[in-house]
Chain A
Amino acid sequence: MSKRNPELFDLIEGYLNDRLNDTAKREFEERLAADVDLREEVEKHRELHQAMLDEDAIRFRKKLIRIENEEPNIQYPKEKRFVFNWRIAAVIAMVLGLGLFFAYLNTTSEKSLFESHFSVYPLEDTVRGNQQEDLQSAFETYGQEDFETAASRLETVVDKMPDAHELRLYLGSAYLKIGQPQKALSEFESLTNSTSYAEQAKWYKALTYLKMKQNDKVIALLDDIIAFDGIYKNDAMNLYENLNKQLNPDDF
């Protein structure tokens, strides 16, 4: 076999895709019959083409690589930062007086706790690849963090596809981002009995109540999520601990 070059690749690809004319095909087959290395090369191209047609597996593998490369302790840094801020806050409180300290807590800590724990329901490659145009455009704006537009487009799609439960997690997340927790709550509540998304819905419902400062409801939901021992258990335990610190600062 001659050294690899663009012409050889074009010839092999033409042969495999049945694009050679009769003469070129016959000549190439004669070369193949006489050249074991060329036969092996053609086989590699054939296998490569076949392997590449399985886009779904490649997408899945890509996602696994991304997960494998993630930092192992990525879930916890915010918690540590929060403890540190408490110490600073305590010094300020000593200087400015307890009254001012609690006023500061009431106005800001709830907000920062929500922001520390909330991230929108993540877009998956599988949904990004969806062919439906209006859904595609809703996910596009969601991915670009234009949550106003994403919410309005998702509303339209959810109306058309009421059984597409996962979409409600995206819509609810977008509502939370644009400060409409009541609307978000109704989306998450509609999923509480769904078989596939009940746990996700509970977690986002807990965050919505956190945003609405209804801490009793947050705690009840977190208890539930922790007892369920599912994929949100660690998130729920972190939030539970931080919320407890905020509600009972003397215990810490």
Chain B
Amino acid sequence: MARWGMVIDLDLCTGCGACEVACKSENNIATVPPDQAEMGRAISWMKIQSHLEGEFPDTGVLFTPRPCMHCDNPPCIRVCPVGATYINEEGIVGQIYPRCIGCRYCANACPYTAKYFNWYGPEWSPSERRHLNPDVSTRPKGVIEKCTFCHHRLQKAREEARADGRDLREEDYQPACADVCPTRAITFGDLDDHSHRVAELTEDPRAMRLMEDLGTRPKVYYLASRERNAP
């Protein structure tokens, strides 16, 4: 049984934001109007967090791309009164949009603020609807959503592999963000499969996870050499 996980090399991340937009395109994430965005209601399953420090000319920054950590011990699912967020046998934490009652308890329980709420329904003009990804359902107003590790891609990859009568290969299942990163800062794969790069990268001395002390056991690892990188 695979344990899907991600390794993000912060030394390679340039904060270009391609992963953010790729995710929005892949997962049908709508924009919100200006006033809403300023209230903090913009949705970005993958979020580049820039941590600035120092004044000119000694300014420094740390770009931290933040998807859902797909914790092995996710605080978010335990608190959900209706089981609308769950972890599957391959360690992917998912949402059941039609069941979510929108209490936002999971959002409060997530230490990584990885969850987003649909304060209003998504807004797609009829012409824009044409570029929606048919593999991913849009979310109605009033429910929680978050990074899914592009789970639908896994399902498709599986079907294709089955059709070709072969096993799933590492490159068959790559989420959109990892796909597009121009510096290849994002690596994705099966943490338990030693033929996958992620497995070896997690051994890297630079490897660390966010808030490991909380015991959430995230499946997203970060590689950071620069001292100040340690969040």
The finding on whether chains A and B are genuine partners in a shared complex, rather than unrelated, reads no
